Amino acid sequence: MFFFRKKPSQPRRLIILNPAARRGDGLFEFEKVKSALREKLTDFDLYITRGPQDASHRTREALLGRTHDQIIAAGGDGTINEVLNGYFDGNRLLSRKVPLGVIDLNSGADFIRTLLELSDGYTVALQQNRWIWADIGQVELLPILDLPLPTNSKQRKDFERTIRNLKKEMQIQRRLFINIASSGMSGHIVRSLFRSRLQTGAFAYYYHSLKTYLTHKSTTARVLYCRDEKSPWEELSGTLLNLFVCNGRYNGGGMLWAPPAYLDDGYFHAVHMTPAPTYKMLWGSRHFYDGLVDEIPGVQSFQAKRILLIPTITMDSETDGEILPMMGVEGAPAARMLLYSVIPKSIPLVL
C-alpha cells in the first residue's frame, strides 16, 4: 500500500490596498506589480479601501471570519498602522495564526526597510508564510498631571498607582504602532506633508523637515522613562524639539533613527532632540540617514520599556506617520500626557 503525503495548500491571502497611497497612485502602482505578485504568491483576494479606518475594519472582519491565513498591507506606513490596529479589539488580539505582511508600493513606507534588513529573504517569508512574534508600541493619552520623578521604591509605587488611577478616571484614547511614534516637530512635518503637493520620497521628507525646523517653536517638556520593570525611572527635561519612540528603525523617507532596534527585543529605542544652533543642526543633518544619531547636536538616545511625555503645551504627535487625534488645540495649555509602552511579542508578523 502506498501512502501519499498531501500537498500543503497555499495560504489564503488578503491584500488590503490603499489607493490613496503615493498621492493617489496606489492602485496604479499595484497594477504594475500585480502579475509578479500572482507569480510569487499564487492566488490572493484584493480589497481596496474606501476611506480612513476602512483598512482596520476589513482586517477585523477577515480575522473574526477566519477567511484568510495571511493579511498583507499594501501602501504606506499609515496603511500598515491601520491594518495593525485592526488586529486588536481593545487589548485582545483577534488571531494568533494569521500573520501581518507588507508590500511596498513606492509610497515612502519606512517600516518595510526594517523588515528587509532583518529578514533572510522577505519575499520568501511571504511565500512560506514564515513569521515571528513581534513587539508593538502603544501610546495612551492621559490627563495632564505634573508628576514628580520617583526616587525610591515607595515613590515608585505611588507613581505607578497614580498612572493606573488616571487610566481609570476617564476613557483613555489608545493607539498602537509598529514602526515609530513621535511628538514635537515631527507632527508639524507630517501636517506640512499633508498640505503639500510634494509628499513622497526622501527629498520630500528632508525638505519639509528643514522647512519646519526653521519655523518651529520648541516647548519645554519632561520625558520620564523606565528601562525595565526593575530599573528606576529617569528624566530628561528642558526644551524639546522632538521625541522619537522607535520600535522599527526608519521613518521620514529613510531617516535612520534607531539602528539597534529589533522587532522582538522588548524595548523602545528612543531619541530625544533639543534645539541646537541652526548651522550645527544643518551640518548634523547628514547623520539622519547614516544612523549616527548621537553625533547630531542636541540628540540623546536611550533604551526603555515605558516613556511618559509631560509637555507644557499641546504637542503635535504622530504614530507611523498618522497624526494622533484628540491632542487639543496647538499652543493651548497641554491637554494630554502621552504614555508610550512596549507590548512585547504581541502580533504575528511575516519575517
Domain check: are 99 and 143 in the same one?
Answer: no
Q: Alpha helix locations (H) across 170-201?
A: 185-195
> Which pTM value belongs to this model?
0.89
Average pLDDT, the chain: 86
How confident is the model over 300-309, as pLDDT tens digits?
999 999 999 9
Question: Is residue 7 one of the residues assigned to a domain?
Answer: no
Give the residue-averaged pLDDT of 210-235. 84
Domain check: are 102 and 170 in the same one?
Answer: no
Domain check: are 215 and 261 in the same one?
Answer: yes
| Residue 252 or 107, more confident | 252
Domain check: are 92 and 170 in the same one?
Answer: no
Least confident of 22-31, 205-214, 236-245, 295-304: 205-214
Cell numbers describing residue 140: 495612551
CATH number for position 98 = 3.40.50.10330
Domain check: are 208 and 295 in the same one?
Answer: yes
- How many Cβ atoms from other residues are within 10 Å of residue 150's Cβ? 19
Q: What is the DSSP letter of 229?
A: T
What does the pLDDT read at residue 333?
Answer: 47
Give the residue-averaged pLDDT of 34-59. 93
Question: Is residue 86 one of the residues assigned to a domain?
Answer: yes
Per the structure, the count of domains in the chain is 2
28: phi then psi, degrees, rounded to nearest 5: -60, -45
What does the pLDDT read at residue 122?
Answer: 95
Question: Is residue 335 one of the residues assigned to a domain?
Answer: yes
Domain check: are 226 and 303 in the same one?
Answer: yes
DSSP string of 284-307, one letter each residue: HGGGGTTS-GGGSTTEEEEEESEE
Question: Is residue 120 one of the residues assigned to a domain?
Answer: no
Structural domain for 42, as ranges: 13-109
What does the pLDDT read at residue 6?
Answer: 40
Q: Which residues contact 45 (CB under 8 A, 6 or more apart)?
A: 12, 13, 14, 15, 68
Domain check: are 151 and 192 in the same one?
Answer: yes
Give the residue-averaged pLDDT of 288-298. 91
Domain check: are 70 and 147 in the same one?
Answer: no
Domain check: are 148 and 104 in the same one?
Answer: no
Query: What type of residue is 178?
Result: I
Percent of the chain with pLDDT over 90: 57
Domain check: are 161 and 291 in the same one?
Answer: yes
Give the residue-averaged pLDDT of 125-140. 96
What does the pLDDT read at residue 1?
Answer: 39
Question: Is residue 81 one of the residues assigned to a domain?
Answer: yes
Question: Is residue 159 one of the residues assigned to a domain?
Answer: yes
How confident is the model over 297-338, as pLDDT tens digits?
999 999 999 999 999 887 888 899 887 765 444 444 446 899
CATH number for position 170 = 2.60.200.40
What does the pLDDT read at residue 201?
Answer: 59
Q: Which residues contact 167 (CB under 8 A, 6 or more apart)?
A: 140, 142
- How many Cβ atoms from other residues are within 10 Å of residue 269's Cβ? 23
Question: Is residue 350 one of the residues assigned to a domain?
Answer: no
Question: Is residue 127 one of the residues assigned to a domain?
Answer: no
Phi-psi region of 287 (alpha: psi -120 to 50; beta: other; left: phi over 0): alpha
How confident is the model over 65-99, as pLDDT tens digits?
999 999 999 988 989 999 999 999 988 999 999 99
Is residue 167 predicted with pLDDT exceeding 50?
Answer: yes
Give the residue-averaged pLDDT of 144-157. 91
Domain check: are 290 and 162 in the same one?
Answer: yes
- How many Cβ atoms from other residues are within 10 Å of residue 7's Cβ? 6
Domain check: are 222 and 327 in the same one?
Answer: yes
How confident is the model over 225-238, as pLDDT tens digits?
999 888 899 999 99
Query: What type of residue is 307?
Result: I
Closest C-alpha to 13, from 132, 103, 117 = 103
Please give the Cα distance from 112 to 80 (Å, whole number): 10
Percent of the chain with pLDDT over 70: 83
Please give the Cα distance from 188 to 208 (Å, whole number): 9
